[in-house]
């Protein structure tokens, strides 16, 4: 199974867009990619991701569409681990504090209750 730590920054950016859209053409990527390289460079990178088995390719109406081959949940966990390591010294509590601080105006009571339940369950497994 392919590993996300094998991807370059540009490949990760492309994968992020494909996950966001569910499936994407090179034109979709070109429109969303910051400082996008040429269309042909994007196609070459997407084909490279397909060879590495990160993307699958389907042809419809003479156009190629790429879809992720790795489950969205697994990709999310990998991205969060990378985020924790890069910006939060591997500390989930630092990350949660930042998230709550950024969203304290918008977070609902239901979401806070859900977080409280997850924390309580995590504590119970540590006991």
C-alpha pair distances (Å), 125 with each of 14, 54, 120, 121, 122: 37, 34, 9, 6, 5
In a domain, 79, yes or no: no
Task: Indicate whether 40 and 9 sit together in one domain.
Answer: yes
81 or 31: which leads in pLDDT: 31
In a domain, 83, yes or no: no
In a domain, 23, yes or no: yes
Q: Taking the model in full, what pTM does it have?
A: 0.69
- Report residue 75's pLDDT band, with 50, 70 and 90 as the boundaries: confident
Provide mean pLDDT across the span 23-37: 95
| 23 pLDDT higher than 60 | yes
Provide mean pLDDT across the span 94-111: 87
Write out the residue range of the structural domain in which residue 105 sits: 90-127
In a domain, 81, yes or no: no
In a domain, 78, yes or no: no
């Amino acid at each position: 199974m392919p590993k996300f730590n094998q991807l370059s920054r540009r490949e990760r950016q492309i994968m992020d867009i494909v996950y966001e859209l569910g499936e994407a053409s090179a034109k979709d990527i070109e429109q969303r990619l910051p400082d996008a390289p040429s269309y042909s460079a994007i196609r070459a990178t997407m084909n490279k991701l397909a060879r590495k088995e990160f993307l699958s390719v389907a042809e419809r109406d003479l156009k190629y569409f790429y879809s992720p081959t790795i489950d969205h949940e697994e990709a999310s966990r990998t991205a969060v681990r990378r985020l924790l390591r890069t910006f939060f010294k591997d500390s989930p509590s630092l990350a949660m504090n930042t998230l709550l601080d950024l969203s304290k105006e918008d977070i609902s009571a239901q979401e806070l209750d859900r977080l409280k339940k997850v924390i309580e369950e995590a504590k119970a497994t540590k006991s």
